[in-house]
Amino acid sequence: MDSSLDNFMCVALKLTEEAGKIIRERIWEVKQDVQTKSHIHDFVTKTDQEIEKLLITGLNSKFPSHKFIGEETTSAGVKPEFTDDPTWIIDPVDGTLNFVHGYPNVCVSIGLTINKEIVLGIIFVPISFMMFTAIKGRGAFLNGKPIHVSKVSDLKDALLSVEFSGAATYKERLSSHVTHLQTFLSQVHGMRSGGSAAFNLAMVALGGADCYFEAGIHIWDIAAGAIIIEEAGGVVLDPSGTALIPTYV
């Protein structure tokens, strides 16, 4: 058993808890600092940037040789390299739109890759104090208790989680909503949309949702969730149906 992973987890958990405290303190404040990124429905706040800095600075001080891929650093124009080195993949506030509106499905999501394989994941939902964790080969946990994906194997018995595209134009958003509903609604028990990819993935790991589908997602949205689901006994596939291989382009 690799004890260095325990040390990585321990350090990352402390920082995640600090990050969660900041989110709890600010979620229902009126946000004065909301900026748009790639389009008019894609937001970033000072809290996203501040938490990313807190996590990267904290991890870097303990593990100076490790690399980082952070959503906000990348959005600000830094193009990280994805190498075999230990690499922390960070979404400081997953569900920024929820955070801006005070909708409580907001997560801190942190994955660690070594040799390009995801070996550790943390998803923290700070409003409800749900800490999801996994280390490769050792199972998945919610607040320290083992969790498992559901036993449902047929879509007709499933609660399906999806994210509707938050694209820039009404036409694109409508098309995404309609396509999702037309494709899935007649086939499942029900559909949910949590507004945070990390939250949706955590729900699958917990067995609360039976599956989750999203197109056009980024590695920082799913790195932590992918290992947590796999360690909870589930599978994470790319749209071609093959196993997810973390890439950063």
What's the min distance (Å) between Cβ of 105 and ligand IPD?
Answer: 8
91 contributes a contact to ligand IPD by CB under 6 A: yes
Q: Quick one: which of 49, 126, 196, 234 contacts ligand IPD (CB under 6 A)?
A: 196
Tell whether residue 217 is a contact of ligand IPD (CB under 6 A).
yes
Q: How far is CA 168 from CA 152, 172, 176, 230, in A?
A: 35, 7, 12, 33
Kindly state the tokens that stand for 223: 């790195």
Q: Is 95 in the site for ligand IPD (CB under 6 A)?
A: yes
**Shortest Cβ 6–ligand IPD spacing (Å):** 28
Residue 197 engages ligand IPD in binding (rule: CB under 6 A):
yes
- In terms of CB distance, is 163 or 231 closer to ligand IPD? 163
Closest to ligand IPD by CB, 97 or 152: 97
Q: Which CB, 2 or 42, lies closer to ligand IPD?
A: 42
The token duo for 2 is 């690799």
The radius of gyration of the chain from alpha carbons, rounded to an integer in Å, stands at: 17
Residue 201's nearest CA partner among 218, 225, 219 is 225
Give the span between the Cα atoms of 172 and 236, in whole angstroms.
26
In the complex with ligand IPD, which residue's Cβ is closer, 20 or 195? 195
Query: Min. distance of Cβ 27 from ligand IPD in angstroms?
Result: 13
Q: Residue 228 has which token pair?
A: 């947590």
Contact pick of 94, 210, 230, 231 for ligand IPD (by CB under 6 A): 94
Q: Does 221 bind ligand IPD (CB under 6 A)?
A: yes
Q: Does 123 bind ligand IPD (CB under 6 A)?
A: no
Q: Which long-range contacts (CB under 8 A, 24 or more apart) does 157-160 make?
A: 157/189, 157/210, 158/188, 158/189, 158/210, 158/211, 159/188, 159/189, 159/190, 159/191, 159/192, 159/208, 159/209, 159/210, 160/184, 160/188, 160/190, 160/191, 160/192, 160/209, 160/210, 160/211, 160/212, 160/213
The region of 12-20, 93-101, 181-189, 241-249 touching ligand IPD under the rule CB under 6 A is 93-101
Which range in 25-33, 87-95, 119-127, 236-244 contacts ligand IPD by CB under 6 A?
Answer: 87-95
Question: Contact with ligand IPD (CB under 6 A): which of 195, 225, 234, 246?
Answer: 195
Q: Identify which range of 17-25, 90-98, 114-122, 145-153 contacts ligand IPD by CB under 6 A.
A: 90-98
What string of DSSP letters covers 167-199? -SSHHHHHHHHHHHHHHHGGGSSEEE--S-HHH
